[in-house]
Amino acid sequence: NAGVTQTPKFQVLKTGQSMTLQCAQDMNHNSMYWYRQDPGMGLRLIYYSASEGTTDKGEVPNGYNVSRLNKREFSLRLESAAPSQTSVYFCASSGDRVGNEQFFGPGTRLTVL
């Protein structure tokens, strides 16, 4: 089992460019999450999906869109990247929304110039 995989591992964008971060899990989990991690800020939830076909905003959704393509895959899109979106992005999955541990992917380090 690969667990949670993310692509790409690193990305550099110019302001205004768009890109999609990909995430997939092979644990048959219902819930999936996108977080960003900035120095000193901990992990902040961008969007989550409690099940296939549903998505909900987290703490910092502005500037992002998500798609829960199927049970395995949950993508995060930046339509017009801004320097404030420079961060490390983690995808995670869990069995249910409440009371189950989250398994994290290795992260994507994104720099917006």
2 makes contact with other proteins (CB under 8 A): no
Q: How far is the CB of 25 from other proteins (least distance, A)?
A: 13
CA 18 vs. chain centroid, Å, equals 15
61 makes contact with other proteins (CB under 8 A): no
97 makes contact with other proteins (CB under 8 A): yes
Q: How far is the CB of 11 from other proteins (least distance, A)?
A: 16
* 8, 16, 26, 41: which one binds other proteins (CB under 8 A): 41
> Shortest CA distance to 72 belongs to which of 1, 4, 20?
4
42 makes contact with other proteins (CB under 8 A): yes
Full DSSP string of 53-104 = T--EE-S--TTEEEEE-SSSBEEEEESS--GGG-EEEEEEEESSSSSS--EE
> Shortest CA distance to 46 belongs to which of 60, 56, 32?
60
Q: Contact letters (x/-) for other proteins, 6-25, by CB under 8 A?
A: --------------------
Q: Determine the straight-line distance between the first and last CA of the chain, rounded to whole angstroms.
A: 36
Residues that bind other proteins (CB under 8 A): 33, 35, 40-45, 48, 50, 56, 58-59, 90, 97-107
